Structure 1
Amino acid sequence: MNKLGTVIGFTFRNKVRTKAFLITTIVLAIIMSIAINIPYFIQLFTGEDLKSGSTKIGLVYAEQANVAEQLDSYWKAQNNDEFTFVKYDTSDAASLKKDIEAGTIDGYLQFSDDQKTLFPSVVYSSDEDDGLNAVAQAELSGALQAVKMQVIVQDSLTPEQIAELKTPVQFNAQNINADASAPKANEKDESNRMMEFGVVYLLIILFFFTSMTTGNMIAAEVTTEKSSRIMEILITSVSPLTQMFGKIIGMFLVGLTQIAVFVLVILGNLFMPQNKEVLADFNIDLSQVSIDVLVYGFTFYVLGYFLYAVLFAAVGSIVSRTEDLGQAIMPITMLSLAAFYVGSFSMGAPNTMLMKVASFIPFLSPTTMIVRIGIGEIAVWEIWVSILILVISILFFGWLSAKIYRTGVLMYGKRPTIKELRKAMKAYKI
C-alpha cells in the first residue's frame, strides 16, 4: 500500500510540474476568462451599453398625440427595459436625424395623420438598414397591437374586459392514459428542466474531456518510460500492477486538479462586478438541480474513467515507440467518441430503445445513464444493474490489462500481436 501511495504521489507531482501541463492549464484558463468577459470588452472598447434596455426610440407626438401618449403609458406599465421612449413634440425630420447622428436616440417612431383609418400607420426611422433588432421589434409590435385595440374599442368595453382580452390564453397538455387524480410526480417546470439539461451536458463533456486527456497521458507516460528503458529499473522496485494502478489514480487526481482550476476560473470571472448583472439575468438557481443527478453522475463519471484508464494503460504498455501510440489507442478513442456522441445526440430523446440498450453496455453507459437519470425516465433497478455491469467490467478489464501490462512493459521492438502476447504470458506464467 505504501508503494502504491508512492507511485500515486510521484505520478501526480511529476505531471503537474511539467511545462506542458502548466502551459495548457494557463492558456485554457486565459481563453475561458476572455470568452466570459467578451461582452465587457466590447463595451469597453466601443463605449456601447450592451444591455437590452439601451435602445432609445424617439416617440413623435405631433400628428397623433393621443395614440403616442397611450403607447408611452402602456409601455411604462409593462416595466420592460427592452427599449425606452423619448418624447418629441416636433416631427421635424432634420432635427430628429440630427439627434440620431448625435446618439441621443437610435431611431424614431412616427404616426401618420390619416383620419380615414381607425388606427394610423406607423413608421420607424433610423440610420441602420435592418432597423430594430428582432426582440425589440417583436416587443414594439405587441405594444402597438394592444394600443390599437384600446383606440378602436374606446369606451365600448370596460377596463376589466380590455385587460381580459390582453391576457394570453392558457394552453396545457395532458396524457389521456394518465390518472387525472394522481399527482404528476415526474412533471418539472421549465427552469428545473433547463438546469438539469445543462448539468447533464456538462457531466458528459467532463467525462469525455477527462477520459481522453488523462487516458492519453497514461498511455504516453507508460510508453515513454518503456522506450527510455526506465521501466526496467522501476520493475525491480515496484510490481507492474502497483505501477499501473498508481499511474491511473495519479492521473485521475491530475485531471481533477485541472478541472478544479477551470471551475475556480469560471466562477471567479462570473462573480466579477461587470458580470454579476449578466449572471443575474439567467436566474440560475443551483438548488433546482437534483441530488440524484449529481451523485449518480459523479459515480458513473468515476467508474467510466477507470474503465477507459485501464485500457489506455494496457495499450501504452505494448507500444515501444511514442510515434506508434496514436494508432494503437485509436480503437479506445473511437469507443470514447461513441459514448460522447450517443449520449449528447440523444439528449432530446433520452427514452429511446438505443439509450436503453446502451445503458447496459459498459463503454457507453457512463454517458447514456447520466442522460437518462438527468432528463429521462429510468427505474432505480436499471441504475444499479448498470453500475454492477460497469464494476464487473472494470474488474475484468483491469485483470486483463494487468496481465497485458506485466507482459507488455518488457517487450520491445514492434507492437506485439495478440498471439505473441499470449505466448509471452504463458512463458512468464502470468
Structure 2
Amino acid sequence: MNNGFWTVVGFTAKNKLRGKAFLITTIIIAIIMSIGINLPYIISKFSGEGKPTAVGYAAVAAEQSQSQLFTPARIADSLGKYYAAQEKPELKLVPIADAGSAEANEKALKRAVADGAVDGYVAFAPDPAGGGFPAVTYKSESLMESKVSQSLTTALQAVKMDAVINGGGLSDELKTLLTKPIQFDTVQISTAEGAGSIGTGKTKEQQAMDMVTVYVILFMLFMAIMISGQMIASEITAEKSSRVMEILITSVAPLKAMFGKILGMFLVVLTQLAVYIVVIVINMTLPQNADKLGDLGISLDKIDPVLLVYAILFFLTGFFLFATLFAAVGSIVSRTEDLGQAVLPITMLSLAGFYICMFGGLNAPGSMLIKVSSFIPFFSPYAMVVRLGLSDPPIWQVWLSIAVLVVTILASGWLSAKIYRAGVLMYGKKPSMKELFKAMRAYR
C-alpha cells in the first residue's frame, strides 16, 4: 500500500470527524442514551416512586372472637407489620377512622383519596364459604396499578401463611423450618469439555454479565453496520454524482480508493462507538444505576475475557463483510436519490440477522435456527456471539464459523473490488447486470 491509500483513509476519516452533522448527531445520540439509561431514576424523582405508596383501610374495631383467624382488622394489622419490617417498603398502610358503617367507611376512604391522604385503599368482603380468607379489593383512581397489586398479593399470601402457621399450634422449630427460605441457584455447565468447548461453567452473576455483553455487542454491531454502510455508499455515490471520482482515480487506484474509504469509515464509526461506550459506562457507574446493577450481580469485572475477544473478532469480520458490499453498491449508483433502494437488500440482511438473534436467540440460544444462522456469513456475526455468550458451542463450530466468514469476506472483497473498479466510471442510469458484467470482464 503506498501513500495514496493512507491519503484516502486520512481524508475520509478527517472529513467525517470534522463534519458538523457527525458531531451534532453523536452528541444528540449520546444525550438520548444518557436520558434513556437514567429515565427510571428521573421518573421516580418526579413521580415520587421513591416513597412508599400510601394505602388506606377502615380502622374498624378488632373482633372479640379469637377463633377467627382472618378478620379485616387482623389482616390490616398484619399487613402494616409486614411492610414496616421491610428496609425499603413499597407500601404504607394508613388507617382511616371508623365511620360507624360500611357505607360511611367507603365514603371516608374515597374522601381520603380525593384529599391526597392516600393513593388508594383496600376493602374486605367476607368469604362466602365462611371462615376462610376474605376477598380483598384494592381501589384507586388510577386505571392500572400492577405494582401495588402485585405487592399486595405477595403480602396477603405471606400474612395468610403466617396466620395459619401461628394458629395451627406448631412448635417453634417447625415454624422456623417451614418459613426458612430454600437455597436455590443456577449454574451454566459445560458438557463437552473434552471436545474443546468454550465455557467451563458459569455462575448466575457471570451469566447476567454475559447477557449484558451480548446485548451491547449486538447493538454496537448493528449500529456500526447501519451507520458505516450508509456513509460508505453515500460518500461514493456523492463523489460520482459530483464527478470528483474522475479526479480521484487519476491519482489513486480504484481498489486502494475503495478499501481506503472502508478503513476510513471504520475509524469514524470506531470513534463514534467509543464515545457511546464511554457514555454508557459513565452512566452505569452513577450511584442510582450502580446499586441496581449490583443487586442483579452485574459488574464490569465479571466480563468473560474469552467472550469479549470472540465478540470483538466477530464484530470486526461482520463490519468488513457488510462494508465491502455497501461500497460495491454505492459504486454502481450515480444519483443519491437511488441509493436507498439500491442498498435495501444489504440492509435487510443485517436486519434479519439482528432480529433473529434479538427475538429468537436470546430466549433460545441453543435452537436450530440460531445454530444454522451461526454458519451463514451474513448472520453469523450476530448468531455466534449469542451462542458464545448464552450457551456453550464446541470450539470447532466457532472456528468453522470464523473460517466461513473470512472466506466470504475475501470473496465479497474480490467481487466488490471488481464491481467498484467497473462501476465508479459508469454514469447515468443504474447499469444493468449485463453492462456491469462486461465492464468487470474488462478489468481482469
Measured against the shorter chain, the TM-score band is 0.7 to 0.9
Which residue of the partner structure matches residue 348 of structure 1? 363
Q: Gaps spanning 5+ residues in structure 2: where?
A: 64-72, 100-104, 193-198
How far, CA to CA, are the matches of 1:290 and 1:12 in structure 2? 32
How far, CA to CA, are the matches of 1:381 and 1:38 in structure 2? 43
Q: Note closer, same or farther for the CA distance 1:70–1:327 as it changes in structure 2 (3 Å cut).
A: closer
Look up the equivalent residue of 2:432 and give its one-letter code.
T
Matched, 1:163 2:156: no
Deviates more, 1:267-276 or 1:345-354: 267-276
How far, CA to CA, are the matches of 1:224 and 1:138 in structure 2? 62
Q: Gaps spanning 5+ residues in structure 1: where?
A: 180-184
CA drift of 1:76 comes to 4.3
CA drift of 1:361 comes to 2.1
Give the paired residue count: 414
CA drift of 1:158 comes to 1.3
Q: CA RMSD in A?
A: 3.4
Q: Note closer, same or farther for the CA distance 1:123–1:246 as it changes in structure 2 (3 Å cut).
A: same
How far, CA to CA, are the matches of 2:123 and 2:349 in structure 1? 62
Which residue of the partner structure matches residue 182 of structure 1? none
SS at match of 1:329: helix
Instruction: Select which of 298, 307, 313 maps to 2:312.
Output: 298
Which residue of the partner structure matches residue 430 of structure 2? 415
CA contact (8 A) 1:67 1:147 kept: no
Deviates more, 1:15-24 or 1:385-394: 15-24
Look up the equivalent residue of 2:421 and give its one-letter code.
R
Instruction: Select which of 84, 91, 98 maps to 2:98.
Output: 91
Aligned counterparts, 1:22-421, within 5 A: 22-43=23-44, 45=46, 48-51=47-50, 54-58=52-56, 60=59, 62-63=61-62, 70-77=78-85, 79=87, 81-86=89-94, 88=95, 90-92=97-99, 93=105, 100-107=113-120, 121=134, 127-128=140-141, 133-153=148-168, 156-167=169-180, 188-272=202-286, 275=289, 280-344=294-358, 345-421=360-436
SS at match of 2:392: coil
How far, CA to CA, are the matches of 2:313 and 2:130 in structure 1? 68
SS at match of 2:277: helix
SS at match of 2:54: strand
How far, CA to CA, are the matches of 2:324 and 2:52 in structure 1? 55
Q: Note closer, same or farther for the CA distance 1:78–1:36 as it changes in structure 2 (3 Å cut).
A: closer
CA drift of 1:41 comes to 4.2
SS at match of 1:377: coil
CA contact (8 A) 1:67 1:151 kept: no
Look up the equivalent residue of 2:48 and give its one-letter code.
D
Output the TM-score relative to the length of structure 1. Answer: 0.83
Q: Note closer, same or farther for the CA distance 1:226–1:42 as it changes in structure 2 (3 Å cut).
A: same
Deviations 1:258-290 (A, max 9, x none): 222222333344444665555555442233332
Deviates more, 1:34-43 or 1:295-304: 34-43
How far, CA to CA, are the matches of 1:356 and 1:253 in structure 2? 32
Deviations 1:14-46 (A, max 9, x none): 01222332332233223223333434444555x
Look up the equivalent residue of 1:369 and give its one-letter code.
M
